[in-house]
Amino acid sequence: MAQVDRFGGEFDGVLVAARSGEPWALERIFTTLSPVVAGYLRMQGSHEPDDLTSEVFVAVLRRVGSFRGDEAGFRSWVFTIAHRRLIDERRRLVRQAGVGPMPAGYDAPAPDDAEADVLRSLARERVRELCDRLVPDQRDVLLLRLLGAMTIEEVATAMGRSVGAVKALQRRGFRAVGRILEREGVPL
Amino acid sequence: MSHISQIRRSSPDDETVEAIVRGRPVDARFDAWVAFARLVRTAAVDLPGPGPSDELAVILRGDIEITQERDPMDVGRIASVAAKVATLGAAKVVLGATLAAAGVTGAGAAGVLPGPAGDAVRSAIETVTPVHFDDRDGDAGSADHQDGFGDEVSDDATGESDGDDGVDGHTISEEAPGSEHRPDQAGSPDDGPGQPDSTGLDRANETPAAPNAPETPDPGAEGGGGDGSDGGPPGSVPSTIPSPPGRTESHERP
């Protein structure tokens, strides 16, 4: 996957400092990864993506002292926590009667309603629509791989599924995206 | 050729999907999927990250201690020990008015229960009665034991007292806690709980709580202390918990 270096090559130093409780390192981790984690949760239809994002990083930063690995592994770990928090939220909502789908327009408009902002908003909405039309497990796999940059094996662990099952879900997810694009023209 | 027909005829195989996911170049036939992947990544980070919650803000300030690395095996060990203590505690610690169930409490008073359970029993007894046990610092084998601890072996264990080697409960060492409160004649197996014609009150009178036991059993009690053969608790047993000052009515067993 695209090996995005979000820490500018400084991940190892940031991690060491974070494990010592250095506030600047904790802040760096949060500011670097919270946008993509929040984006993942939004695309997954989380009802409260901002609150859930904070929950994720509370869990991450409390346990950062026990993490060992590189940036890719750290990102995978963060997204595993995010995914599980998302599942917890879904279960909570299922238990609560009458919880409906996300209200339209949850995606707050940018402060400056310039054309570019509108186009970006439309693009986000379109992507979310596409993802909504996937089978949930297929959506989970695609988003964890694309946004979490997780390997097949890491996704399997996060979802509690076998590697073979994840591969199948990935394959079918991509084919489903293709069918949607075919039916509706090329919206991208 | 329209892009639509391209999509219809060019569903990516696993290898191509992997390349698309990893951001590696793929054939132009798969541009639609590449565009999809790119759009997902872009849209996800298009908005700024949310502000931290109050709880997270505290952590970001460094006001919370970061959990340090812990050996995963420790977690399993801790969980295992906690489970064992929980089972001991649930069965043995809740004493209250059940001091008449002398099997456990007697054993606890005599100090023959394992350390943690014995401590719990002794603590509970001290809570409800004026009995006080000498503090035991640490577990067996601890350096806090008095000098010479373990040097002396009871006559019961050596067989000197009854001709039978091994501890059978006939004789209790004077070193065991509670010795100063023990009756002159220690209970024998034949005097265990549930013997015919014995009541819980009989047993209560043999325990350190004897001074607080009522003179007569509760008229509603059935069979006294019960024979324990069904493994259940004894029938209605009069409370041996001393009444607080100013209250004279008898206490019902909780």
Residue A171 has pLDDT above 80, yes or no: yes
Taking each helix axis from N to C end, the angle separating B31-44 and A136-146, rounded to the nearest 10 degrees, works out to 80
pLDDT mean over A80-106: 75
Establish if A4 belongs to a structural domain. Answer: no
What is the share, in percent, of chain A residues with pLDDT greater than 70?
86
Q: What SS3 state is found at B160?
A: coil
Domain count along chain A? 2
Looking at the structure, tell me whether residues A78 and A118 fall in a common domain: no
The reply to whether A31 and A77 lie within a common domain is yes
Instruction: Examine the pLDDT at A12 and tell me if it is beyond 60.
Output: yes
Residue A145 covered by a domain = yes
Is the model more confident about B113 or about A33? A33
Tell me if B194 sits within 8 A of B226, measured CB to CB: yes
H/E/C letters for each residue in A82-148?
HHHHHHHHHHHHHHCCCCCCCCCCCCCCCCCCCHHHHHHHHHHHHHHHHHHCCCHHHHHHHHHHHCC
Percent helix / strand / coil, chain A, rounded to 5: 70, 0, 30
Say yes or no: A118 and A186 in one domain.
yes
Q: What angle do CA A105, A107, A111 make, to 5 degrees?
A: 110
Would you call A54 an interface residue with chain B, using a CB distance cutoff of 8 Å?
Answer: yes
Chain A CB contacts of B53 below 8 Å: 51, 54-55, 58
> Torsion angle of alpha carbons A29, A35, A41, A43, nearest 10°?
-150
- Shared-domain flag, residues A184 and A123: yes
Task: Give how far B171 is from chain A: nearest CA, Å.
Answer: 53
Q: Which of A36, A67, A96 is the last residue of a domain?
A: A96
Does any domain span residue A147?
yes
Tell me B163's DSSP state. Answer: S
Domain shared by A91 and A13, yes or no: yes
A187 and A128 in one domain? yes
Residue A21: domain span: 9-96
Which of A4-8, A160-164, B87-91 is the least confident region? B87-91
Chain A residues 82-101 with CB within 8 Å of chain B: none
Based on the fold, state whether residues A122 and A71 are members of the same structural domain: no
**Cα dihedral A101→A105→A110→A111 (10° resolution):** -120
Q: Which tops the pLDDT comparison, A125 or B180?
A: A125
Most confident range (mean pLDDT) of A158-162, B201-205, B209-213, B228-232 is: A158-162
Mean pLDDT value of segment B227-240? 47
Same domain, A62 and A132: no
ipTM greater than cut 0.85: no
Average pLDDT, chain B: 61
- Is residue B66 over pLDDT 90? no
pLDDT at B139: 38
CB distance from B2 to chain A under 8 Å? no
Chain A residue numbers with beta carbons less than 8 Å from the beta carbon of B34 are none
Residues of A in Cβ contact (< 8 Å) with B50? 34, 38, 49-50, 53-54
Best residue of B21, B34, B54 to probe chain A, by most A CBs closer than 10 Å = B21
Judged against a pLDDT cut of 90, whether residue A23 lies above it is answered with: yes
pLDDT higher than 60, residue A105: no
Is pLDDT above 50 for B89? Answer: yes
**Chain B residue at shortest CA distance from A175:** B11
Contact at CB, B21 and A145, closer than 8 angstroms: yes
Q: Which secondary-structure segment (H or E) carries A33? A: helix A23-43
Q: What number is the average pLDDT over the span A32-36?
A: 95
Among A66, A96, A126, the domain-final residue is A96
Quick check: B85 pLDDT over 50? yes
Kindly report which listed range (A42-46, B3-7, B24-28) carries the lowest average pLDDT score. B3-7
Q: Does B36 touch chain A (CB under 8 A)?
A: yes
Q: Flag whether pLDDT at B187 surpasses 80.
A: no
Q: Average the pLDDT over B155-178 and give the result.
A: 62
Give the confidence band of B130 by pLDDT, cuts at 50, 70, 90. Answer: very low
How much of chain A, in percent, has pLDDT values that exceed 90? 65
pTM for this predicted structure: 0.54
Give B110 to chain A, closest Cα distance, Å.
45
Q: Which of A31, A62, A167 sits opposite B14 (nearest CB)?
A: A167
Count the neighbouring beta carbons within 10 Å of the beta carbon of residue A140.
24
Report yes or no: B48 at the A interface, CB cutoff 8 Å: yes
Residue A146 vs residue B6, higher pLDDT: A146
Write down the pLDDT at residue A128. 86
Q: What is the pLDDT of residue B50?
A: 93
* pLDDT score at A118: 76
Which CATH number is A176's domain given?
Answer: 1.10.10.10
Asked whether residue A105 is assigned to any structural domain, the reply reads no
Predicted confidence at residue A183, as pLDDT, reads: 79
Q: How confident is the model at residue A110 (pLDDT cuts 50, 70, 90)?
A: very low
Instruction: Look at residue A172 and tell me whether its pLDDT is greater than 90.
Output: yes
Tell me phi and psi for residue B148, to 5 degrees.
85, 5
CATH of the domain at A63: 1.10.1740.10
Cβ distance B22 to A1 less than 8 Å, yes or no, reads yes
